[in-house]
Structure 1
């Protein structure tokens, strides 16, 4: 089974288990994840969230930048920057 088919077949319970294992760095039985297992599990969690079109706020790594008044902290690092080019005449 390839990675994409595995993600398609993944149940919400398996997703939650993988997500928890990545968070804690160990499997439910207490055995520590190797670096490779952690990377692969995190990749699977992210792919699952993307495949299920989960809301951004529910995804791994989401940082809520909303202040109490509704405005945002900082700026969007992926937003396009406007560049003003000045030339001398």
Structure 2
């Protein structure tokens, strides 16, 4: 029996894409719905695959492109501290 890590190492790109699609639509390619546990484990497998294969950030699950057409970012960087201004009235 394969361990989780061995399974991820042996996963093909086609299986990865199929799992991503199944998670997105909530059912397997044969039409059978995913259970809550299947969704959880499939998502863990997809994330582990992306990490193992060092996929670029923009190709990973959960990536949100915040780039405007002019190349700037929408909003502020959530990892940078914000400066608060206190105004007296």
Same fold by TM-score, threshold 0.5 exceeded?
yes
The aligned residue for residue 87 of structure 1 is: none
Instruction: Compute the RMSD of aligned alpha carbons.
Output: 1.6
The aligned residue for residue 31 of structure 2 is: 30
Q: In the TM superposition, what whole-angstrom CA distance separates every residue of 1:24-83 from its partner, at most 9, and x where no partner exists?
A: 100000000001100110110011011100011111111000011111011222x24277
CA 1:82 to 1:65, structure 2 compared with 1: closer, same or farther past 3 Å? closer
* Separation in 1, partners of 2:65, 2:83: 28
Superposed counterparts of 1:37-56, under 5 Å: 37-56=38-57
* Number of residue pairs matched by the alignment: 83
SS of aligned partner of 1:33: coil
CA 1:66 to 1:83, structure 2 compared with 1: closer, same or farther past 3 Å? closer
* Separation in 1, partners of 2:34, 2:77: 33
Query: Structure 1: which 5+ runs fail to align?
Result: 85-89
CA 1:69 to 1:9, structure 2 compared with 1: closer, same or farther past 3 Å? same
The aligned residue for residue 69 of structure 2 is: 68
* Separation in 2, partners of 1:43, 1:60: 11
